[in-house]
Structures are given as structure tokens and as C-alpha cells.
Structure 1
Amino acid sequence: MESTIFETNRPAARIVEESLADTKHAVFWTEDIQASAARYPIVDGDLRADDVVVGGGYAGLWTAIKLKTEHPERRVVLLEAKRVGWAASGRNGGFCEASITHGEPNAESRWPDEVGTLKRLGYENLDAIERFVTEHGLDVEFERTGQLSVANEPYQADWVTEEEGDADTVVLTAEEVRQRLHSPTFLGGTFHPRENANVHPAKLAAELARHAASIGVELYENSRVTGLEGDAGAPIHLQTPRGTITAERAALCTNIFPSLLKRYAFHTVPVYDYVLMTEPLTDEQLASIGWEGREGVADMANQFHYFRLTGDNRILWGGYDAVYHVGGRIKAEYEDRMESHRKLASHFFTTFPQLAGVKFSHRWAGVIDTSTRFCAFFGQAFGGRVQYVAGFTGLGVGATHFAADVIVDRLEGRSTERTELQMVREMPLPFPPEPAASIGINLTRWSLDRADHNHGKRNVLLKTLDALGLGFDS
């Protein structure tokens, strides 16, 4: 097996250890808005609503806004188990991408007849988010910077040379990539000018909540829904510890957390993703790497890194490790994994040796709701009066907006271009129960790592998964 650039060009151990010596185990984004973030009341007593949304992340917030905007006369209630935006929506990398299918290759392998439509809808979706942010003056540090994909290995550079450039894809040589962002590891790449916007994740959640409240959505925090009851012809009842909410319709947007609809219990698994944030770069440090276009960046490996600049010129550096724990458990202690953060720090200084001496101010982790098709799926119950979405697999910042449009269309009983997509109508295969889930997931992770160490060549397991429509290449 071949070594990767991150193994052959490791920085000195001292550089890595010093960079992490004073790092705070906390989410930079949520800490950044802690003093200004609004708080919302706890459900205290029974409520009657027209529409109830469960989940105070992006999917739930967009859905509540769209429901209330379409029907201002209706009572729309949003219920959040902890605080608005505290989970994936407040701790992700802040890449708001156009793709609603976790990349075009994923769409090509699953819905080849709809690739063009899905791509167009993805761009329209990102354009709609940008318009909304601008029209309503949301302070979310929105920057439509585009996406830079970089090759770190010769076989990845070969992939680049096979790409065909067009209005949406600019093919770059090693020198052209380094003119944008200087690293000795970059051997080529592609730039997608319309594909990505950078945002401040926690500000986006907080500002969506503020806007929702301003138009009359009733938001409740620390109000975990413990049960859901109903049938096709009767009101829906949602239990919380301090009251029951009765509604005509419900949208369930709980991400990786257990579905209130038991039929979807095995359709997602939790995978932990790890992130580092540097201190703000000095002008000299920033000049040493260029990055004047402030593009969002990811490399082309199966186990890939993603990185971007913040508003105050910190570098967010995340990815690579994606850790599944036996039994699919979600625990706060899983977020503190120094093995992953040391690995990330080492890879950072391999990529940017000129930044030796930079410190990481924050380290954290979050749970990704992975589905077997690696993008969102849609479910329903009680004659369509309960709608459900999950499975964003780490690309939900933009795709949640599209999902909210689908949910509202379906709650309204509308047949639209969105609702008729195979992607929307088809359900992915569920994951198997334990111990098969752990065996399969970890064997797949091992195989992806092997491919990264073998010129990208996929073994029999990965080829079989590809043939079954369960393959994954990022």
C-alpha cells in the first residue's frame, strides 16, 4: 500500500502539540454568538396549533418560516429539545453548497435521468437562500465564494485532467490552484464558481429563528417531544414533559436524533465529524497562503478535508475522520477525541507548512445523520399530515432549504416538480441492526481508507456497494 502525502510529509510532532496546547474544547460558532443569541420559552401547558414543527435546526426553521409565510393566519409552533441551532446546524463547517444530492456523482449513480434537473434545482435553491438572506437583512456572514476542489495525490491529479471545463467548472493546473491558495501538496484542482457560499452556521440558525419569531412563529426551547400520536382523520398529539401540543399537521426535522416515526428508526446512523479552528491569521500569515478569493475548499480523497476562512480570517479545518460508535450511540464524550484532532492538526501543517506556529483556538465535533444513499430522504405518516426528513449526511446547510420546500408542498397536497422527483418519492434502504451495522460501516470505512492508499482503487466491497446503489466516494 502507498503512503499518502499526509504520512510522507508529516510536520514535526512539536509543531502539532504546540498548536493544540491551549485549544478550547468548544464550538467556536455558538460561542461567538453566545452573548447575543435570543432565548425562547419552554412549553408550559397544553397548546393547540395548526402546524407544529419538531426540531430547531435549519430544516425545522426553514419549514416553520415557509409555513407561516404561506399561511400567516395559521398558528405555527416550533419545538426544540435544547436550544435553537445547538446541534448540527450550529457546529458545521459553514459550507452552504448548491448540491441537494451530496454531489453530482451521487446523483449520477442513483438518478441518472434526473441529473440535469437536480443540478438546476440545486443552483436555484442556493440562489433562493441568497435572495432571502439579502432581502431580510440576515447577519449571517454570507459570502458566495464558490468551491475549490484540490488534488493532493497524483491519481487525483489524473482525475482533474479528465474533467471537462464549462460555465460551472473551471479546470486548474497545479500552478493555477496555487495562485488561488498556496500549498505544496496541491497538484491540480477544479473551481466551481456557483457551487458554494460560506456562512456563519450559528448566526444563520439564530437569524432564521429571529425572522421566524418576527412573522409570528411561536418558538419553544428545552421542550423535547417524547411521543407522537394520531391517525389519518384525527388531530396529531405531541407530548412534551410539560404539556401536549395538538395540531392538524406536523413536520419532523430532528436530524440524527431518534425519529418519532418508528418506521424510520434504522434509516440513519450517527457519524462523528471533527473540526479545528485557528486563531485569526495575521496579515503576514494570510499573505503567505494567498486565498484572496476566500473559496470554500475540499480535497478529493475518500477521507477528505474541508477548510475555509471565517469573517475574522481564522481557518476552519475539518473532516477526514468519520467515526461510528457501536450501537449508534450519541454521547457528548464522543466529541472530545484528541486522536482525531491531532491527526487534523498534523494534516493542516502538511498542507500549510508556512503556517507553523499558528495555534488552534477551538476544537469540537458534531454528529452527521448518514443515510444509505448519502443525501436527504423524505417520509410521511397519517395520510400525509405528518412529514419527515433526515439523512443529509453533512451537506444540509443548503439542502435543508430545499427539504423545507418539499415538506410544505407535501403538507399542502401539491404535486410539484420537487415532489415528483425520484429522489423525493423513493426511500433509501435502512441500515441493518447491530452488530451487522457496526461491522458493515467500519468495514466500509476501512475499505475507503485502503482506496486512498491504493491510487483510489476500490476493492470488491466498495464495487459491490456501488453496484447495489450503496456506494460512497467522499
Structure 2
Amino acid sequence: MSATRNAHPNHPYVSLWLDEAFSTEQRLPVDLNPLPRTADVVIVGGGYTGLWTAIRLLEHDPSLVVCIVEAQYCGYGASGRNGGIADTSWAKFPTMVKLFGLDDAVRLARAIEAGLDELCGFCTQHGIDAQIRRRGSLWTATNAAQVDSWHNAVDACTEAHAHPFRPVDTSESRILTESQLALGGVFEHSAASIQPARLVRALRRTAIKFGAQIHESTTMTSFNGAGPVRVHTTRGTITAQKVVLATNAWLARTSTFKPYLFVTSSDIIATAPIPQLLDPDGLGSGIALSDSRRLILYWRSTPDGRVVFGKGGGHMSRYNHVDRRFTGRSTFTGQVTERLHRLYPQLAQVPIEHTWTGPIDYSVTGLPYFGPVDDSNHAVLAGVGYSGMGVLQTILGGRILASLVTERDDEWAAMPLTRRWPNRLPPDPWRSAGAPLVKAATMRKERLMDEGRQPWPLTCLVAGLDPTTAPSQS
């Protein structure tokens, strides 16, 4: 494995994506600008959610004083270390129907899907090269037990007269994936692969052009008040009329959101460039790929011919604390590489040059929430719970939060994701103690299914205790 340089002057290695993005930026000076004493809006968190919210606020009203405070640097969290897959949420459509009813579910799913056109248009308008490759996505099966896992989603969409999915047989799935283990699936046109850190760093530059004040290496320590709100940080206090908390998994430990969210890691590897993948067909096209297991596998190629391959369900958090296990090189590199080589034995001799990990704020429904942190205080809002699918969803989230901040009664403020999650996860300490047991049973079950064997009933029983909702379970 190649050594990875420290791309940011003040922080250690986080991901291949950030290394690439920082290599095209001028070296960043330490932010010595004083914090403003007051602002109209303070946004805590410099990732996709915070930056999209700032941009939409300033588009609506350029006179607003919008201040972003970020504990590390913009893109340090999930926005700079995800798999780089811009996928819709049609796979979760059955869950949307159960939670919101048919009409609102269709409206929501279409709004998320529209985010891809919006993203491409925004990047074109502002000269952003996020390496967007609109080659769709394939939800496939990589063992016999996974076949037809997409059945519920396809049927629910058909009943709603929506047709985002195209059935793909085994032969075509093997052409699209270039893996002989693919056993059919469904193809979705409205999806893309991107370079996520290039996008988040470009959003940072664009937000600054729009007038946002961004203060990195500035950690919020607490806040109090209900409008105005005093935001206390390691560099001073800002008084604001509204506050948006956009720290993703780092918000899951708070008392308000802990009952509904669980933090786990997603772990990713990247191969050395492979000359054959420069061919713009099949895997080399940039198509986004995922299988149907609970501990999902997802992968895509890069424009320079790497395979970027990820696996969900790595580290299980303790009390939703994002500790040192969730940043840097993955400790699950061996497991993830084994999964890659199962699907692509022809890559067994290709070096793994990069690995990284990051926290996922998985919600009880698999869908995010945008709205007040506390129903009694509408001056402090949050966007959280993306559950590993945030590239397009944050675009919608930015519009929702901007409308809520400015108290507009529009289509965005009326989106059903402003409704709180209906169910709670098991409380701690039972959750933190039980999660590793459920994960171990799920891994055992999936490994046996990969081998064409029937899992034991006890294994299935324990694996079935997972209280969160996967697309195949919707």
C-alpha cells in the first residue's frame, strides 16, 4: 500500500478524495480572521448540508450575514470521504409510502431525483469540475439469496405510476459490472459517480463568493437561547437569529437525536489505476454499483482507472460517540479487499493504494430529518440522518433548511422530511452492547449465503434484530 501524504497543512490523512482535491488548491493559511459578534444565521458544519444551506440562503437574500463554523475544515466529514455515488432514494420508496402516504412519497422521491439535474446545472454554472459521470446505477445481486431484493421497491413504484427502475437480466448485469457473480438487478438512469471532495471544496469557494463567512478550525462548544441564540465556540461567541446544526454523525450523540440514530462506519479501498478501466464501457464507465446485502457493498471506477470499493457496517459506535476509529486508514481493509476479490478475482494482483473510513449517521427509517432540534425552539434547526445516502439528499436538505430558516411557506418547507422519525432505537447500554452481536450474526448469515448455504435459524433470528430499515426490507 502506498504512503499517503498529508494533503492539508493542519490535519492528518482522511481520504484519497481529499488528497486529490487539496492537490489542486493553494496551501491553506491558518484562519486568523476574528469571528463576527453577530450574524443572521450561524451554520455549524462545513459539509454538503451546511454549504448548500448557506448558498440557498444567500441566493434568496444576499444581504443576510451567514457564518459557517467548522471544527476541522470544509469536507472533513462524510462530504470528503463518501463513496462518491450520487444516487436517488427510490430504493427506499416503500418506506416513504408507509411514513408519508403515496402522494407525499412520490413528491419527495422526485425532489431527491431532481437533485442530479440541479447538481449538474450548478456545477456547469459555477465552473465546478466534480468529475460527474452520469452513467446511472445498478442495484444487483451477488448471491442467489439476494435475487429480487428490489421486488418491493419496484412494485411500490409501479403502483405509484413511477418507473425509475429498468429490469436487468444476468447477462446484462455481468456486462455492466464486469463481474461473473452478478445475477441480474435493476438499472436506474438518474444516478452518477462523482469526486465528492472536489465538490465540497468547490461549494466552499462558491459559498464564499456568495458572501458566506467561513471559519474553519473553530469548534462549537455549546449554544443557548431561542432567538437570538448565542453560539459559543473555541474562538469566541456569535449571537445569531437562527442556527443550523449540520455536523452529520457528530450530531447523533446529542440527547435529541440519539434515540433515532446509530453511528457505524463505512470503509473504503481504492486500487491502483487499472489501464483496462480507461475503456468507457462497463465498470470503467463510472456506473454506480451496489449489491443487496444488509452490510452493503458499493463500488465504482474513477476517471483515472481505479476501482473504489466500499462496505457498510464496519465499526459499531459506543453510545454514538465518533471516536478515533472513524477517521483515517480503515482497519477493515482486509475484509473489504476480500469482498472486492470475490467479485473480481482478476484484480487480486492489483495493489490497494488507499484506504479510509468514516462515520454514518444511520436513522431508524433510513431517511433524514430537517427541522427544529427542539419543538419548543424553532431558532435552532438541524439536518441529520442521511444513512449513507447524502450526495443528492443534501441538495434537497439545503433548500428545506433555507426555507425553514427564513420561515417561508413554500414547497421545500412542506417536504415530508420535516416530520420527525416515528420510532426509536433501543436505548443504551443495550444498543451499544447488542449492535456488535447483531453485526456478527449478519456477517455470518451473509457469508453463508455467499457460499450457497442456508444460515442457521438462530443466526437469522439475531441478524433480524436490526431495528433499522434497509432498502431490501422497505
TM-score range, shorter chain: 0.7 to 0.9
Give the structure 2 partner of residue 471 of structure 1: 469
Q: TM-score, normalised by structure 2?
A: 0.85
The answer to whether the 8 Å contact 2:268/2:330 transfers is no
> How far apart, in 2, do the equivalents of 1:44 and 1:226 lie?
17
Letter in 2 for 1:177: S
* Higher RCO, 1 vs 2 (CA within 8 Å, ≥6 residues apart): 1
User: 1:49 and 2:44 equivalent?
Assistant: no
Query: Of 176, 186, 197, which aligns to 2:182?
Result: 186
Match of 1:222 among 217, 228, 235: 217
Q: Distance in 1 between matches of 2:71 and 2:330?
A: 28
* CA distance, structure 1, for counterparts of residue 142 and residue 346 of structure 2: 17
Given the alignment of the two structures, is residue 95 of structure 1 paired with residue 85 of structure 2, yes or no? Answer: yes
1:32 aligns with 2:20: yes
Question: In 2, are the aligned partners of 1:463 and 1:471 still within 8 Å (CA)?
Answer: no
Aligned ranges 1:13-412 → 2 under 5 Å = 21-22=1-2, 24=4, 26-37=14-25, 39=28, 41-42=31-32, 44-99=34-89, 103-113=92-102, 114-159=104-149, 167-194=163-190, 196-231=191-226, 234-258=227-251, 262-283=255-276, 290-291=282-283, 293-335=285-327, 340-380=332-372, 381=374, 383-412=377-406
Structure 1 residues 259 and 449: alpha-carbon distance in aligned structure 2, compared to 1, 3 A threshold: closer
Q: Secondary structure at the match of 1:223?
A: coil
**Alpha carbons of structure 1 residues 428 and 271: separation in structure 2 relative to 1, 3 Å:** farther
In 2: Cα distance, 1:260 partner to 1:320 partner: 20
In 2, the alpha carbon distance for the partners of 1:142 and 1:193 equals 14
Q: Give 3-state SS (helix, strand or coil) of 2:243's partner.
A: strand
C-alpha contact 1:37 1:206 (8 A) present in aligned 2: no
Q: What is the SS of the residue equivalent to 2:336?
A: helix
Could you tell which deviates more after superposition, 22-31 or 211-220? 22-31
**Distance in 2 (alpha carbons) for counterparts of 1:327 and 1:287:** 46
Per-residue CA deviations over 1:292-313 (Å, capped at 9, x if unaligned) read 5421000111122100111211
Once structures 1 and 2 are overlaid, which stretch shifts more, 446-455 or 83-92?
446-455
RMSD (Å) for aligned C-alpha atoms: 2.9
d(CA) in 1 for partners of 2:110, 2:198: 27
Could you give the per-residue CA deviations for residues 53-108 of structure 1, whole angstroms, max 9, x where no partner exists? 11000000000111111110121111111111011110000111222x77324324
1:42–1:350 distance in 2 versus 1, CA, 3 Å? same
**Conserved? CA contact 2:141–2:183, under 8 Å:** yes
1:273-328, Cα deviation, whole Å (9 max, x unpaired): 11000111113x66699435421000111122100111211110001443213333
Tell which deviates more after alignment, 344-353 or 155-164. Answer: 155-164
In the TM superposition, what is the alpha-carbon distance from 1:397 to its structure 2 partner? 1.3
State the SS of the aligned residue for 1:63: helix
Give the total of aligned pairs.
Answer: 446
Point out where structure 2 has 5 or more consecutive residues left out of the alignment. Answer: 5-12
Could you report, residue by residue, the CA deviation over 1:413-456 in whole angstroms, capped at 9, with x for unpaired residues? Answer: 22333433443223344444421111343344345445534679
Give the direction of change, closer, same or farther, for the CA distance of 1:74–1:328 in structure 2 (3 Å limit).
Answer: closer
Deviation at 1:471, TM superposition (A): 3.5
Contact 2:220/2:232, CA 8 A, preserved across alignment: yes
69 and 357 in structure 1: CA distance in 2 versus 1, 3 angstrom threshold: same
Deviation, structure 1 residue 412: 1.9
Question: Which residue in 2 is equivalent to 1:442?
Answer: 436
Output one character per residue of 1:166-211: Cα deviation in whole Å (capped at 9) or x when no partner.
85222111111122232111111211111x1211111111000000
Give the Cα separation in 2 of the matches to 1:440 and 1:200.
35
**Distance change >3 Å, CA 471–CA 369, structure 1 → 2:** closer
Closer, same or farther in 2 for the Cα pair 1:387/1:335, shift >3 Å? closer
The residue type equivalent to 2:398 in the other structure is: A
Relative to structure 1, is the Cα distance of residues 222 and 273 closer, same or farther in structure 2, using a 3 angstrom cutoff? same
Letter aligned with residue 269 of structure 1: F
- Contact 1:271/1:324, CA 8 A, preserved across alignment: yes
Shift of the 260–48 alpha-carbon distance from structure 1 to 2, 3 Å rule, reads farther
